[in-house]
Structure 1
Amino acid sequence: MTTTEPPAGAARTAGPVVRTASGAVRGLHEDGLAVFRGIPFAEPPVGAARFQAPCPARPWDGTREAYAFGPPPPQEPGIQGRKAAGVPGPTGDDWLTVNVWTPDPDPSSARPVMVWIYGGAYKLGHAGQPAYDAQHIARDGDVVVVTFNYRVGMEGFALLDGAPANRGLLDQVAALEWVRANIAAFGGDPEQITVFGESAGAGSVASLLAMPRARGLFRRAVAQSLPGTFFSEALARDLAAALAAEAGRRPAAADLATVDPRRLTDAGQSLSAKMFHRTDRWGQAAPTVTPFSPVVDGDVLPTTPWQALAAGAARDVDLLVGHNRDEFRLFLAMEGLLDEITQDQLTGALRLLAPGGAAGERAYRAAFPDATPTDLYERVQTDWLFAMPSLHLADAQRAGGGRAHVYELAWPAPGGSQYLGACHGLDIPLLFGTFRADLGILLFSGAEVPAEAQELSSRFRRSWTAFARTGDPGWPAYDTDERLVQVLDAEPTVTTYPRETSRRLWEGHAFLPLPLLGQEADRP
């Protein structure tokens, strides 16, 4: 293969050569780390491979330059049905690539390995986003960090005739198989692999815990802000039919394969913008405005994660799970609804999302009598979508004989962003130390990052990497007697679970696959 100079950048020079199962790759030396980007772990899923399970990457001759991230998978350029700038990054079909940050690519090093799975509502995201620059985690924690791309949107999650379900999850399994087979050559220990992810990435982590195909591929798991949305087959098929109709096609792999992957993202964005008003048909999935989620198909994903863990599927995997205190405030701000929620909107949300419908509405109002409509709306949305699914996953892990640690991030975003509180996504810049990238630009908009943010960021990395190394993040394991959790704030404390009122409202609730409602549910 041809040789070029490494890209310009601070402290960047041509780095070591590592031999993988598919061929040799050369990385870069960057500020004390060896960094490898854009290594294929599977063949491009195009042509005859479109909408199919991933196939191993073909071997190559010579040395491949692993200097640049691979191209992002096709995806919508906006969120919540809104237009945004195009997705930055290289173009091409080689979407399924991995990236490695390692302190020392010496096979005798055997460092713990942390594998990051990005979020983005199962329709956005890629490993090359600046927010996921893993240098601080690798350097501060003395661990090997891996990130990778997986298919999102229609390519990865639409339930289509002639295609396996949950292709995005199958991509993740393929990436973990690549890690197990190759990471020792990068200085990592294949017996000490931790998967970690946020939002849809946390939903992916929870799915992997429940998937027979993923068993034995990792030893520990971190789920940050786990969403409770998993689709039934009936709901997923109905959404896939609506998506295909937006593209003028049938919901079949053969039909959709004739459409350019980048044009199909328009169909997803168009349907997302219409979903909010279809609670009569799509129920609780409608207000999420994403037609994609893991599908409980009985094969790739046999059951929901809560059912699987309670049955002992992950009792041998250490679990760290938690959420942010004010998750949904980010989405309210994006829609310009902070302090704008009406009583009618609140009533609709409570009856749709709270356990028990109208009885759940009354219970929430009685439990929080002094809350404003906006505050109560945000609370039930946060509880339903992130907080209670996260806590119930820890409960399920304990019920199945496993071990779990739980946290809540309570530290609010600083400066002009303070009205967002401890909102969704705040944990990403804190964990990665990427305060000037992506969402971090909004949440840390001042001239300087506050010292307490820097300290909390260091604490995040110490706890997460300690967990990857030992299974102990530095606070007591969770149980259903004391319910001790780590509250991450300017002064972190260990206390009983702080959302006890919400916990009691959701006690006994089962997070089942979301159903299809109305007459459509009865159609063959």
Structure 2
Amino acid sequence: MAGDEVSVAVNGGTVMGRHQPASAAHPKALDVFYGMPYATVERFQPAVMVPPPRSGTLRAVEPGPSQPFPMAPHDTAESPLRLNIFRPCTCSSAPRPPSPGGGGGDGSGSGRKGRLLPVLVYIHGGGFNFGHPLERDLAALVAWAPVDVLVVSVGYRLGALGFLTEGGGERNLGLRDQRTALEWVREWVRGFGGDGGDVTLMGVSAGAHSIGHHILSPSPLPFRKSILESGSPTARSVLAAAHPRPTAQLASLNSHARGKPLASLPVDDLLDASLMVWADNMASVCWPFQPVVDGGPGGGGIIPDAPLKLWDDAARSGRMRDQAVITGFCSHEGTSFVPQRAATNAAFLSFFKTLIPSLAPADLAALERLYPDPVTHPSSPYANPPQSRSRYGAQFTRLHEAYAHYAYICPVLHTAHSLSCAGATVYLYEYAALAPPFFAASHGDQAAVVAHDMALLRGKPGLADVAGAMNARWTRFTASADGTLDEALWPRFVSPFDGRGQPNGRLLVFGDGNDEAAGGLGKGTPVKTRTLTEREMEQCRFWWDRMELSQGMGVRSSL
């Protein structure tokens, strides 16, 4: 065995991984197992779980191909589905990283022989069309954690391969792949030193949406703890397969594929056709190949009904009381998605009418009042900052703020509210550190900070303090048996929306006033507590009252 390799005995065979010595970027020595198959797949068919080899040696020392997606910068393959494992090295008592954030947890790290580690399963983002399980420096997340955790990152089918709405086959195959991956982890992670009975799910964006759907599923997965970064099961839209939008997008895919059978189309041709459909819908943010309501008259499905209905069902069942969740948002979630040159009120209204076709004239009038036009209302808070007025249309700030509330912030708060009212343990956050290109805290900006990725943090001492505070809380939550943290470390969120006369609405804000990543000198405040404002609650009530227009067939309930 090479000196930089490590082996584990699993299922009668041997898996060879890579030993990664401690370094300035990764202060704990690690063992990493890359690209291990967890299932085989045939196109448009459910995955079939595969165990580790019963004999011989599986080499897992280099990243394997990811699932195919357009313009992937690395090798891809439809089968098998793969996962990666990152764990602290079992070989020595390596030096501990500093422990910013303090409090809670047992602080133990090395010398853990015989003790199974809590497991964090990471589901990547990418709009259900792009991305891969090594999108973040998960080795850094493990290496900087003040408590030892084992991280598994999983691949799943994307785009048309994972979320085709064509009849005849099972839908939401990408979500089903994630469930198969968790089954594999529960059965086999013990061989790598992980506790399959102590699993936390973590995801960003589409990964967080996915976890939300798994939380709501009437056939729940065996986990109690989850971390949803900028995502929710009610985020953006979750339409029925028969809704006109996915129906038209499927027709467009078939057209770009020149009518050839999708099941046998060469994968590169399918990706090219899928990318054309994506491009057709990118400006409107009406993205194709998304999870859909997949229940039928006989029930079943991963998302058997509209998520709002599933929230009601889950709350009545009482099973949400056992859940513990970290969830939160970035301050400016919408900057990367909306048209940057929109200049008129008509363009603002047209964007939302295209996005949510069932908005009535009264809804659009209420939307205008809630987000006053900065062109005609000099006191509107949605005027572009002076330094950016020459680069963006007059409606840009108004658009990205309203879209952020519709697509991400208010769905996140809906999840926090629903779980809080159901008796779950909820910790809420806002990520506020500013970064390029928008000089904002944009969608996904927290990812490298939570991971404590030194490629971003080097030379930014204030942001490194933010990273220490976030990494410590994320991993201590994972290591907590029941998902509870010391009140001094993170006050529990109690919904102020429920009208029970017990206002709380407390959340942590990470990185307020920090602009180092944007080229500034402001270190800001690593972490502080604030309370949701009346303005935030007014905005979310507006979007919550219209959330059903982006679910199922997109019609308003008669109830």
1:475 correspondence with 2:475: no
Deviations 1:417-473 (A, max 9, x none): 26331011101111123354xxx6xxx8xxx54111111111111010111122135
Correspondences of 1:447-486 after superposition (within 5 Å): 448-470=458-480, 471-472=483-484, 474-480=489-495, 481-486=503-508
1:349-379 Cα offsets, whole Å, 9 max, x none, are 3556697532232322359724222221111
CA contact (8 A) 1:39 1:97 kept: yes
Could you tell me which amino acid in structure 2 is paired with residue 140 of structure 1? W
* 2:5 is the alignment partner of 1:14: yes
Q: 1:402 aligns with which of 414, 421, 424?
A: 424
* Contact 1:71–1:94, Cα closer than 8 Å, also in 2: no
Output the CA distance in 2 between the equivalents of 1:193 and 1:181: 12
Aligned match of 2:545: 509
How far the C-alpha of 1:209 sits from its partner, in A, is 0.8
2:75 counterpart (73, 76, 90): 90
Comparing both structures, which one devotes a greater share of its residues to helix?
1
Deviations 1:209-254, CA, capped at 9 Å, x for gaps = 12244421x221111111332122213344323322221237xxxx
Q: Which moved more, 1:51-60 or 1:509-518?
A: 509-518
Residue aligned with 2:65, SS: coil
Contact 1:407-1:487 at 8 Å conserved across structures: yes
1:266-277 to 2 correspondence within 5 Å?
266-275=272-281
2:346 counterpart (341, 344, 352): 344
1:27 aligns with 2:17: yes
Paired residue type of 1:138: V
User: 349-358 vs 392-401, which deviates more?
Assistant: 349-358
State the one-letter code of the partner of 2:449.
L
- Give deviations 1:91-133, integer Å, cap 9, x for gaps: 444341111011146773221111111000100011133xx22
Counterpart in 2 of 1:243?
253
> Are positions 1:420 and 2:453 aligned together?
no
Q: Aligned residue for 2:58?
A: 64
Provide the residue aligned with 1:377 in structure 2.
399
Alpha-carbon shift at residue 487 of structure 1 (Å): 1.1
Relative to structure 1, the CA distance from residue 392 to residue 353 in structure 2 (aligned partners, 3 Å threshold; closer, same or farther) is: farther
Shift, 1:494, TM fit: 1.1
> 1:296 and 1:229 mapped to 2: Cα distance?
10
Residues 389 and 241 of structure 1: is their aligned pair in 2 closer, same or farther, counting only changes over 3 Å? same
The amino acid that maps onto 1:455 is: D
Give the paired residue count. Answer: 462
Q: Which residue of 2 aligns with 1:159?
A: 165
The C-alpha deviation readout for 1:380-429, integer Å capped at 9, x for no partner, is: 0110111011000111112333221111111112xxx2633101110111
Task: For residue 181 of structure 1, report the CA deviation from its aligned partner.
Answer: 0.6
Q: In structure 2, the residue corresponding to 1:195 is in which secondary structure?
A: strand
Contact 2:430 2:508 in 1 (8 A): yes
Structure-2 change in CA distance of 1:22 and 1:264 (3 Å): farther
Q: Note the C-alpha offset of 1:66.
A: 0.8
Residues 240 and 393 of structure 1: is their aligned pair in 2 closer, same or farther, counting only changes over 3 Å?
A: same
Q: Is the 8 A contact 2:67 2:76 kept in 1?
A: no
| Aligned sequence identity (%) | 26
Of stretches 207-216 and 419-428 in structure 1, the one that deviates more from structure 2 is 207-216
CA distance in 2, matches of 1:56, 1:347: 47
In the alignment, structure 2 segments of 5+ residues that lack a partner are 22-28, 91-111, 296-300, 374-378, 384-394, 496-502, 512-523
Match for 2:240: what amino acid? S
Q: Normalising by structure 1, what TM-score?
A: 0.82
* Distance change in 2, residues 1:493/1:418 (3 Å): farther
Q: Which amino acid aligns with 1:164?
A: E
Q: 1:281 corresponds to which residue? A: none
Higher alpha-carbon Rg: 2
Query: Residue 68 of structure 2 contacts residue 77 of structure 2 at CA under 8 Å; is this kept in 1?
Result: no
After TM superposition, the structure 1 stretch with the greater mean CA deviation from structure 2, 363-372 or 63-72, is 363-372
**Conserved 8 A contact 2:239-2:293:** yes
Once residues 333 and 88 of structure 2 are traced to their aligned partners in structure 1, the CA distance between those partners, rounded to angstroms, is 34
Residue 107 of structure 2 corresponds to none
Moved more, 347-356 or 61-70: 347-356
Q: Is the 8 A contact 1:107 1:188 kept in 2?
A: no
Deviation at 1:199, TM superposition (A): 0.7
Calculate the TM-score normalised by the size of structure 2: 0.77
Taking the aligned partners of 2:52 and 2:528, their CA distance within structure 1 comes to: 51
Query: Are 1:411 and 2:433 an aligned pair?
Result: yes
Cα distance in 1 for partners of 2:367, 2:352 equals 5
Equivalent-residue separation in structure 2 for 1:245 and 1:351 (angstroms) = 26
Q: 1:306, CA displacement in angstroms?
A: 4.5
Give the aligned residue type for 2:475.
T
**Cα 1:348–1:192 shift into 2, 3 Å:** same
Q: Within 2, Cα distance between the matches of 1:180 and 1:198?
A: 22
User: For residue 188 of structure 1, what is the aligned residue in structure 2?
Assistant: 194
| 1:495 and 2:530 matched | yes
Distance 1:15 1:435 in 2: 25
Q: Deviations over 1:184-220 (max 9, x none)?
A: 221112222111111111111111112244421x221
CA distance in 1, matches of 2:438, 2:347: 21
User: Match for 2:380: what amino acid?
Assistant: P
Q: Is the 8 A contact 1:210 1:303 kept in 2?
A: no
Q: Is the 8 A contact 1:113 1:145 kept in 2?
A: yes
C-alpha separation between the residues in 1 aligned to 2:77 and 2:509? 43
Q: Offset of 1:59 from its aligned partner? A: 5.6
Distance in 1 (CA, whole Å) between partners of 2:64 and 2:79 is 6
Given that residues 22 and 58 in structure 1 are in contact (C-alpha distance below 8 angstroms), is that contact kept between their aligned partners in structure 2? no
Number of the residue aligned with 1:282 = none
Q: CA–CA distance in 2 between the matches of 1:119 and 1:374?
A: 25
The answer for the alignment partner of 1:290 in structure 2 is: 287
Q: CA, structure 1 residues 305+186, in 2 after alignment: closer, same or farther (shift >3 Å)?
A: farther
CA distance in 2, matches of 1:472, 1:220: 10
Alignment partner of 1:364 out of 370, 391, 395? 370
Q: Structure 2: which amino acid aligns with 1:324?
A: C
Q: Which residue of 1 aligns with 2:388?
A: none
Gaps spanning 5+ residues in structure 1: where?
A: 6-11, 78-86, 278-286, 519-524
Conservation of the 8 A alpha-carbon contact between 1:99 and 1:148: yes
Question: How far did residue 23 of structure 1 move?
Answer: 3.9
Match of 2:104 in 1: none
